[in-house]
Structure 1
């Protein structure tokens, strides 16, 4: 017999039914009573029935879901031997079947590997099963869509995929949806269900397969009772209803169940009436009589739950109805507020909850939160609730894709697939499941990246090479220290541990799924993964994070189950490891851990459809925005919204899931059921802006309610008084931190300043009560933070650098650029990680190395550079380049095609360079005398051995020794003089600037000249040594600019001008003639040009002997100052700004120094002096 229990939301349907079941079960102990509810409501229903039962125990009453009913009956019938294919297995099979079908699925097949797509396919296949759509039904859909090309193609693909899916699992598995079909076959023989009383409660409707189960239950049971939500004013028996009606689902369910009972009676031959309509009329007339055996009608105009709350009772009676009644009385039971952002909306809700707990006498369990979009709100609510010390339970399954064990497995497979790619290896090591410490992992990564180690072979071979230092020439090495050898041995042990652990997986990568799975299990088990996950679980339990503890407790078994499914479903399939990984990743994406609330007194947070709330007194409905209400969940999927609407309109023979339009109307029923759930208070809220600042609109529900309740206004509580917004210590601490910074910067005025001082005092007093003012100290220090230069203690500086400071000119220029960057680089020896790659600095190194070899070979021969034939020059250059390439940076230039192309570019540039350099030499009288001249060759000269301090006896206690190499020194001698020209090769374009010299940023050329002249003086035989020129040569192969028809000689002239050396030369005419003997107007060798009258142009870069002497002495003085400052511990953060240049722009240490112009004390030095002014100052200092 079929019975119904009708009543509005909150009318007491469940209570009425449970009381009836309890009362009847106590009188009739021989009858089984089964209450069937949705899955997520079973535990709460069990609690409710036990609480209501006089004995507080249930003997012949079962509370089950459809799924649990299946398990119970299968156990009774001995049907537990078949394997059920869950969502994980379904994804695996669909993925595999799709790959097998390949091109036979032109639409679905090409998208199957896209993230999330397989879930859409699986959802559609599950829908077909739930709605009983087989090949015949899909054939009808295919025929109906024959003129819709894209839709028809999708349905053809789905039909074929569905068919092959069923064939693949036949006789091996049944799907979760098919368990209900099996249940239908087992119900007739069940003793548990025979002559039982079955109650369905909490459902809004049923799927076709669930209807089939109910039909079988009607056949064997004594009675089936179904509760349905419907207003007393509505006729539940009407066979005519529109989809937009609020209670359409309930009316349709009554109609469908009555039709079900009618067909059952027909099959049993028990009907005494000829038609369904006649049967319905007779049945409904009889069952509507108010007797114990009839349908139950709860007809109270005001539902029991809301009898003491007029505004909520009015909402229940009028929401989504066609009348236009308005409520003009007290609306304190309903409140609507808005907030600027989702974060602020959640915060305001939590402030109100704090008030309710503190002042209203509510417990947390009396309050619930539902969200228009739980995905958008869940994390925000979780984070904010911690600040307010409010316990919440998010009713949402958690994805485990970022769990360490999944990261470990995925990266292990990626290592084998990619051939030990850097990123995969170190992702594996840092997954949280390896046995390597972070420090050891960093060491190994530095080594591997610097040496370019990759590929299985290199990882399985012993590590024999030391960490490289980019020696420019081959054969230069130093004996490895004992410490380096110990480190190398340690790194090799780590290498061996990694390659050994992954060997089973690497060896099986071309095997079957069974082979790969077995190897993967070996990798997992040999790592003691289960024990490590248990240690994580224990850690989280100790910290009170029971949700995380539950995740880590379940994940291992779920992964082993997944691997078992892969073995069982695909075991003998031979696939590539990459395909195995894709299938496994699909399985990982489906792994979820369901949790239950750990605290009795907590706030449930859920959505409007899935979450089933028990009795709540206060409900917060957040995210009542357009797009959430109604939901934008449609629009995607394999079958689009338009597709579904077309199919629904085209055929009535095949029932699919509700169309988007139908779903929108169904959602109204869920809204009605949620909004009428609280007994005391309903809060609705919406945000005005998305996280990225886009405008949000309130949902239609807001205007509907404000129309019904004319006294309701929408508030914006964040604009309220300051005290009411500062209710929780943790939340207020965040607010105070922000306000403290504004206060420190002087931005607070008037009431804002008073609010800050009030909040400051309140929190300080509260913290003082707990004996901890550290938070106040921290934020005060941070807000009023002011950078102050604190030099290193002298003793520490001497420990870092030594009393004899070995230095270079470029290092001193770094000190001039920023003292702190110098300290980090040369005091603490922090460097960027060396990579096995060829970069700009390497290019310069190779240029220098090749030119050194090239020049040295010429100088050691009989032919002068100016006389060298072009063919011989190219031969020497090619030989020098080959030697350097073969020995440079662990043969990095030969490591790949890109770098080998770089070799040819280097060759082209250097051919142009040596040709230009030979031309420049031939135009003057100078000859190369030194190449890569080491400062140490100069001997013990004052220019590089600089006294920094002396004791009372004039003994030197601190000194600086300069190290360096001058690229090339050219000399010209006459009877009385030796003239010196210094050339510095640069891979970039450099110009000499006296202003930069003045600030210490460009000391190199002058210092090189000082060393070169001192060295030449020792070899001059008493001749006077004079500086002639300090020059930069840009190593480059420029292009001529102009029309395509330029003559070769014009092109060469333009290129020579572009390669003209920059720097500064002596203004003496005889010296200029020595440098460029054929100068005529404008030199193409040196930065000199003449006016028509024969005088030097202002564009010439020249210096008088006295001015050069001044900058020489100034440079020595500057170097000495810098040396003293270094040993005095100067580590000031003092970057400079000079025009459009800044020392911070390319600084490697920007993330370390903490430089922030918003913090007082930090500022850049503005170096704005002109070169002429700098020269004047230098002259005056030397007078």
Structure 2
């Protein structure tokens, strides 16, 4: 017999049915009473029935879902031997079948490897099974869509895939959906179900396969009772209903169930009425008049729960009804608020909850939160609730893709597939499951990156190579080498541990699924993965994070189940490791851990469809935004919204899941059921902006309710008074931190300042009660923090640098740029991680090395550079380049095609360079005398041995010894003089700037000349040594600009102008002519230009002997000052700003120094003096 229980949402249908079941079960102990509810409701329903039962125990009452009913009956019938293919297994089989079919699936096949796509396919296949659509049904859909090209192609693919999927699992597995078909076959012989009373509660409707089960239950049971939500004013028996009606689903379910019973009675030969309509009329008339054994009608106009809450009662009676009723009385039962962001919306909800708990006498279990989009809100609610110390339970399964064991397995497989890529190896080591410490992992990573180690062969060879010479610091003693060898031995042991642990996987990568699975299990078990996960579980338990503890407790078994399924389903399939990984990743994506509430007194957070709420007094409905309500659930599946609507309109023979339009109307029923759950208060809220600042609109539901309740005002509580926004200590601490900075900077005025001081005192007093002032001290120190330069103690500076400070000029320029950056680099020796790559600095190194070899060979030969034939020059250059390339940085230039292309680029640039340098030499009287001249070649001269301090006996106690190499020194001698020209090769474009010299950030060129002249004096035989020019040469191969038809000689002239050296030249005409003896107006060699009257143009870069002497002496003085400052412990954070340049721009230590202009005391030095003013100051100081 079929019965119904009708009533509005919250009218007490469940209570009425459970009481009836309890009462009848106590009188009739021989009858089984079975309550069937949706999966997620079983536990709560069991609790409710036990609580309601006088004995608080249920002997002949069982609470089951469709799935649990299947298991119970299968156990009874001895049908537990077959294997059920769950969602995980289904994904694995679909992936494999798709790979086998290949090009036979032109639409679906090419997308199967896209993330999430297989879930869409699986969902569609599951839908076919739930709705009883087989090959015949798909053939109808294929025919109906024959004129719809894309849709028809998709259905053809789905039909073939579905057919092959079923063939693949035939006689081996049944799907979860098919268990209900098997259940139908087992029901007739079940003693548990025979003459039982079965109650269906909590369903809004049923799928075709569920209807088939209900039909079989009707045949064997004494009674089947179904509860349905419908207003007392609506006729549940009507056979005519529109899809837009609120209770359409309930009316349709009544109609379908009655049709089911009618067909069953026909099959049993028990029908005494001529037609279905006649049967319905007779049945409904009889059942509606029999209050004891007929249908149950709960007809209270106002449901009892809402008798004392007129506004919520009105909402229940009028929501989504076609009337214009308005409620103008007290609306305190409903509140709507808005917030700027989702984060703020959640925060405001939690503030209101705190008020309710503190002032309203509510327990947390009396309150629930539902969200328009749980995915968008879950993490935010979880994080914010911790700040408010509010216990919440998120009713949502957790994905485990980021669990350490999955990261470990995935990276291990990637290492083997992709040939020991750097990213995969160190992902593996840092997964949280390896045995390597973070410190050892860092050491190995530095080594691997510096040497460019990759590929299985290199990882299986011993690590014996030292760090590349281009990176290595000076190895000063045998002890350092011993230490280095110990480190190499340690790194090699780590290498061996990694490659050995992965060897089984590497050896099996072309085997069967069984072979690979066995190897993977070896990798997992040899790593003691289970023990490590158990340790994580215990750690989380100890910290009180029971959700994480449950995740780590379940994950190992779930992975073992997945691997067993792969072995069972695909074991003998021969696939490569890449395919295996794709299938495994699909399985990992399906692994979820369901959790149960750990606390009795907590707030349930869920969505509007899945979450079961009971006895809720206050409901918060968050995220009532357009896009969430109605949800954008459609549109992304294999069958689009348009496809589904077309198929629904085209055929009535095949029933699919509801179309998006139907789903929208069904969602209204869920909204109605949720909004009518609370007995005391309903809060609705929406956000105005997304996290990235895009506007959000409220959902239609907001306007619907404000129309029904015109007196409701939409508030924005974040604009409220200060006290109302400072509720919980943790949340207020965040607010106090923000305000403290504003207070420290003097930004708070008037009431804001008073609010801050009130909050400060309140929190300080609260923390003081617990003896904890650290938070207040911490944020006060941070807010009022100011930078003070505190130099190192002299003793520490001497320990770091030594009493003899060995310095290069570039290091002193670094000190001038920022003292702190100098300290980090040269005092603490912190460096950026060394990489096996060829970068800009390497390009400069190669240029210098090749030019040194090239020039040295010429200078050691019989032919002068100016006379060198072009062919001979190219021969020498090619030889020098080959030697440098073969020996540079562990042959990095030969390591890949990109770098080998770089060799050709270097060759081209250097051919242009030596050609231009030869031209420049040939146009003057100077000859190269030194190349890569080491300062030590100058001997013991004062310019590089600088006294910094002396004792009372005039003994030098601290000194600085300068180190460096001058790229090229050219000399010209006449009868009385030696003229010196210094050239510094640069891979970038440099210009000499007296202002930069004045500030100490461009000392190099002048200092090079000082050393070169001092060295030349020792060899001058009494001749006067004079500086002629300090010059930069840009090593480049520029392009000529202009029309394509330029003549070669014009192109060459333009390129020579572009490669003209920059720097400073003596203003003496005779010296200029020594440098360029063919100058006529504008030189193409040096930065000199004559006007028509023979005088120097203002565009020339020249100095008099006196001025040059002044900058030379100034440079020596500046260098001495810097040396003293370094040994005096100056480590000031003092970056400079000069025009659009800043020493912070490319600084490697920005994350260390803490420079922040918003903190008092930090500021950049503005180097804004002009070169002419700098020159005047230098001269005045010299005088």
How does the TM-score come out when normalised to structure 1? 0.99
- Contact 1:634 / 1:660 at 8 angstroms: preserved in 2? yes
For 2:488, the equivalent position in structure 1 comes to 488
Distance 1:471 1:297, change over 3 A: closer
- Contact 1:877 / 1:911 at 8 angstroms: preserved in 2? yes
Instruction: Give how far 1:1045 is off.
Output: 2.2
- Contact 1:475 / 1:887 at 8 angstroms: preserved in 2? no
Secondary structure at the counterpart of residue 174 of structure 1: strand
Distance 2:693 2:475 in 1: 61
Instruction: Give how far 1:941 is off.
Output: 1.0
Q: Structure 1 stretch 591-600 or stretch 1133-1142: which is displaced more?
A: 1133-1142
Structure 1, residues 216-237: CA drift from partner, whole Å, max 9, x if none? 1111111111111111111111
Structure 1, residues 1004-1050: CA drift from partner, whole Å, max 9, x if none? 01111111111111111222111111111111111222222222222
Distance 1:465 1:1046 in 2: 53
- Contact 1:473 / 1:849 at 8 angstroms: preserved in 2? no
For 1:586, the equivalent position in structure 2 comes to 586
- Contact 1:472 / 1:845 at 8 angstroms: preserved in 2? no
Secondary structure at the counterpart of residue 384 of structure 1: helix
- Contact 1:474 / 1:883 at 8 angstroms: preserved in 2? no
Instruction: Give how far 1:290 is off.
Output: 3.1
For 2:100, the equivalent position in structure 1 comes to 100
Distance 1:471 1:824, change over 3 A: closer
- Contact 2:471 / 2:834 at 8 angstroms: preserved in 1? no
Q: Structure 1 stretch 707-716 or stretch 936-945: which is displaced more?
A: 707-716
Distance 2:992 2:1155 in 1: 29
- Contact 1:262 / 1:279 at 8 angstroms: preserved in 2? yes
- Contact 2:742 / 2:748 at 8 angstroms: preserved in 1? yes
Q: Structure 1 stretch 972-981 or stretch 1171-1180: which is displaced more?
A: 972-981
Secondary structure at the counterpart of residue 338 of structure 1: strand
Distance 1:880 1:966 in 2: 19
Structure 1, residues 439-467: CA drift from partner, whole Å, max 9, x if none? 11111111001101000000000001011
Structure 1, residues 381-433: CA drift from partner, whole Å, max 9, x if none? 11111110000000000000100111111111111111111111111111111
Distance 2:912 2:291 in 1: 109
- Contact 1:474 / 1:886 at 8 angstroms: preserved in 2? no
- Contact 1:472 / 1:888 at 8 angstroms: preserved in 2? no
- Contact 1:949 / 1:956 at 8 angstroms: preserved in 2? yes
Distance 1:405 1:758 in 2: 49
Secondary structure at the counterpart of residue 678 of structure 1: coil
Distance 1:288 1:306, change over 3 A: same
Secondary structure at the counterpart of residue 420 of structure 1: coil
- Contact 1:824 / 1:830 at 8 angstroms: preserved in 2? yes
Distance 1:821 1:475, change over 3 A: closer
Structure 1, residues 580-632: CA drift from partner, whole Å, max 9, x if none? 11111111111000000000000000000000111111111111111111111
Structure 1, residues 494-540: CA drift from partner, whole Å, max 9, x if none? 10011011111111111111111111111111111111000000000
Secondary structure at the counterpart of residue 478 of structure 2: coil
Instruction: Give how far 1:263 is off.
Output: 0.7
- Contact 1:466 / 1:480 at 8 angstroms: preserved in 2? no
Q: Which runs of 5+ in 1 are unaligned?
A: none
For 1:629, the equivalent position in structure 2 comes to 629
Secondary structure at the counterpart of residue 1079 of structure 1: coil
- Contact 1:472 / 1:889 at 8 angstroms: preserved in 2? no
Instruction: Give how far 1:729 is off.
Output: 0.7
Instruction: Give how far 1:710 is off.
Output: 2.6
Instruction: Give how far 1:478 is off.
Output: 9.5
Instruction: Give how far 1:341 is off.
Output: 1.2
Distance 1:665 1:92, change over 3 A: same
For 1:1053, the equivalent position in structure 2 comes to 1053
Secondary structure at the counterpart of residue 612 of structure 2: coil
For 2:284, the equivalent position in structure 1 comes to 284
Q: Structure 1 stretch 1082-1091 or stretch 133-142: which is displaced more?
A: 1082-1091
Instruction: Give how far 1:469 is off.
Output: 2.5
Distance 1:611 1:310, change over 3 A: same
Structure 1, residues 334-376: CA drift from partner, whole Å, max 9, x if none? 1111111111111111111111111111100000001111111
Instruction: Give how far 1:479 is off.
Output: 9.8
Instruction: Give how far 1:477 is off.
Output: 13
Distance 2:693 2:1073 in 1: 69
- Contact 2:475 / 2:481 at 8 angstroms: preserved in 1? no
Structure 1, residues 294-351: CA drift from partner, whole Å, max 9, x if none? 1111111111221222211111111111222222222211111111111111111111
Instruction: Give how far 1:1152 is off.
Output: 1.5
- Contact 1:473 / 1:888 at 8 angstroms: preserved in 2? no
For 1:250, the equivalent position in structure 2 comes to 250
Q: Structure 1 stretch 35-44 or stretch 1072-1081: which is displaced more?
A: 1072-1081
Instruction: Give how far 1:475 is off.
Output: 15
Instruction: Give how far 1:843 is off.
Output: 0.7
Distance 1:772 1:1027 in 2: 70
Instruction: Give how far 1:911 is off.
Output: 1.1
Instruction: Give how far 1:868 is off.
Output: 1.5
Structure 1, residues 257-304: CA drift from partner, whole Å, max 9, x if none? 111111111111111112111111111111111331111111111112
Q: Structure 1 stretch 48-57 or stretch 600-609: which is displaced more?
A: 48-57
- Contact 1:474 / 1:884 at 8 angstroms: preserved in 2? no
- Contact 2:25 / 2:60 at 8 angstroms: preserved in 1? yes
For 2:905, the equivalent position in structure 1 comes to 905
Distance 1:380 1:476 in 2: 56
Distance 1:516 1:451 in 2: 32
- Contact 1:472 / 1:849 at 8 angstroms: preserved in 2? no
- Contact 1:675 / 1:682 at 8 angstroms: preserved in 2? yes
Distance 2:998 2:1149 in 1: 25
1:1096 aligns with 2:1088: no
Distance 1:336 1:964, change over 3 A: same
- Contact 2:138 / 2:155 at 8 angstroms: preserved in 1? yes
Instruction: Give how far 1:480 is off.
Output: 6.5
Instruction: Give how far 1:871 is off.
Output: 1.4
Instruction: Give how far 1:473 is off.
Output: 16
Instruction: Give how far 1:558 is off.
Output: 0.5
- Contact 2:339 / 2:717 at 8 angstroms: preserved in 1? yes
Distance 1:478 1:1019 in 2: 38
Distance 2:477 2:1030 in 1: 33
Q: Structure 1 stretch 669-678 or stretch 471-480: which is displaced more?
A: 471-480
For 1:515, the equivalent position in structure 2 comes to 515
Instruction: Give how far 1:471 is off.
Output: 7.5
Q: Structure 1 stretch 319-328 or stretch 618-627: which is displaced more?
A: 319-328
Distance 1:696 1:473, change over 3 A: closer
Instruction: Give how far 1:476 is off.
Output: 14
Secondary structure at the counterpart of residue 1095 of structure 1: coil
Distance 2:1168 2:476 in 1: 44
- Contact 1:736 / 1:756 at 8 angstroms: preserved in 2? yes
Structure 1, residues 855-914: CA drift from partner, whole Å, max 9, x if none? 111111111111212211111111111111100000011111111111111111111111
- Contact 1:309 / 1:333 at 8 angstroms: preserved in 2? yes
Distance 1:1096 1:649 in 2: 92
Instruction: Give how far 1:1156 is off.
Output: 1.4
Instruction: Give how far 1:474 is off.
Output: 16
How does the TM-score come out when normalised to structure 2? 0.99
Structure 1, residues 671-709: CA drift from partner, whole Å, max 9, x if none? 111111111111111111111112211111112212222
Secondary structure at the counterpart of residue 88 of structure 1: helix
- Contact 1:1060 / 1:1086 at 8 angstroms: preserved in 2? yes
Distance 1:400 1:1145 in 2: 41
For 2:205, the equivalent position in structure 1 comes to 205
Instruction: Give how far 1:711 is off.
Output: 2.2
Distance 1:477 1:422 in 2: 32
Q: Structure 1 stretch 173-182 or stretch 770-779: which is displaced more?
A: 770-779
Distance 2:340 2:995 in 1: 53
Distance 2:909 2:58 in 1: 92
For 2:528, the equivalent position in structure 1 comes to 528
1:413 aligns with 2:413: yes
Distance 1:473 1:400, change over 3 A: closer
- Contact 1:505 / 1:520 at 8 angstroms: preserved in 2? yes
Number of residue pairs aligned between Structure 1 and Structure 2: 1183
Distance 1:530 1:148 in 2: 53
Q: Structure 1 stretch 336-345 or stretch 591-600: which is displaced more?
A: 336-345
- Contact 2:629 / 2:699 at 8 angstroms: preserved in 1? yes
Instruction: Give how far 1:1105 is off.
Output: 1.0
Secondary structure at the counterpart of residue 616 of structure 1: coil
